[in-house]
Amino acid sequence: MSLLDGKVALITGGSRGIGAALVRSLTAAGARVAFTYRSSAAPANALVEELGENVKAYQSDAADYAQAEALIKTVVADMGGLHILINNAGVTRDTLMLRMNEEQWDTVMDNNLKSVFNLTKHAMRTMMRGGGSIINMSSIVGIQGNAGQANYAASKAGIIGFSKSIAKEMGSRNVRCNVIAPGFIETDMTDELPEKVREDYLSNIPLKRFGKPEEIANACIFLGSDLSSYITGQVISVDGGLS
């Protein structure tokens, strides 16, 4: 028996990078998986074709409150329930604060933090009826900060405070809420880093390597499964010891 047999999971931002690894890994662990994409239809459709009938893709903007509400209703109707929500969607608009404009701030806050509110708000009522696990994707930057990423750091730190509050509100309803804070993970973005920058980052990581998207997925499988049934309101850093 797989760890997530009988569970339905919804993953936002699931067509590429860490999100796609989440879709593949949770499906392999036995879950039926719904995932969203905003504009990347081709990779989303390819992922569904690769993984088969237990996976469905939905075009939806997590930053839009009404779309989030409609998405939850549709997923529950299509999949027969909702047990795991992984708020993974996010963007960056990096620049120093002296140069940052209002649009760069608002875009990051809407996509990274308001999206978590939107999906959590609409998923809670369904989960209250049978229990559930909400997993919100923060970042080591939300814990430590980073020059040139004040907007991103604020959004990811906000996710931590939000999640701890939801854990306190929803614990009596058997709805758990936890946070994963990835460090440097091998994705398209890290592939584009200059070699000197990569070396500088690696020198500060005790395990001396970047993480793999599948290692983030493994933490999500744990938090989504009954193995973590007494864990809520926690932040799990998956960063090779960096923090």
Mark the binding-site residues for NADP(+), compressed into ranges.
13-16, 88, 152-156, 185
Greatest alpha-carbon span in the chain: 54
123 is written with which tokens? 């998923």
d(CA 51, CA 49): 6
- From the candidates 37, 58, 152, 230, which is the catalytic residue? 152
Q: Do the beta carbons of residue 184 and residue 210 sit within 8 Å? A: yes
Structure-token match 């499988």, residue found: 221
Alpha-carbon Rg for the chain, nearest whole angstrom, is 17
Residue 152 among the catalytic residues:
yes
First CA to last CA across the chain, in angstroms?
35
Q: Which residues form the catalytic set?
A: 152
